[in-house]
Amino acid sequence: ARYYECILELLRAGVKTNTRANKVLEYSNYLKKYPMSRLKLPPIVMINNEFFDGTHRLSAIHLLENLLDTQNPVWCNCKLKVNFYKDK
């Protein structure tokens, strides 16, 4: 499964001891409180088509869309900048 799907399932199951899930939840709560802050998020970084940076941000938005703020259309329409690089 994808990282953001695993985080969603952990939080749906009520797991509170997973450090990564807790960080995503922290990001989600911040974004929910300050939705305009999404416009200032740094780009997701992909190197050789693999995540290098940004999985927590992407997972936070996925969590908002699918669990924490499902009635807010901001999250299903949210677009993040992604920078793609190839490792030499």
State the DSSP string of 25-45: HHHHHHHHH-GGGGGGPPPEE
Q: Which pTM value belongs to this model?
A: 0.90
Q: Is the dihedral of CA 34, 22, 54, 67 positive or negative?
A: negative
Question: Above 80 in pLDDT, residue 47?
Answer: yes
pLDDT computed for residue 85 by the predictor? 96
pLDDT computed for residue 87 by the predictor? 86
Residue with tokens 């974004």: 31
Read off the tokens for 24.
Answer: 């995503």
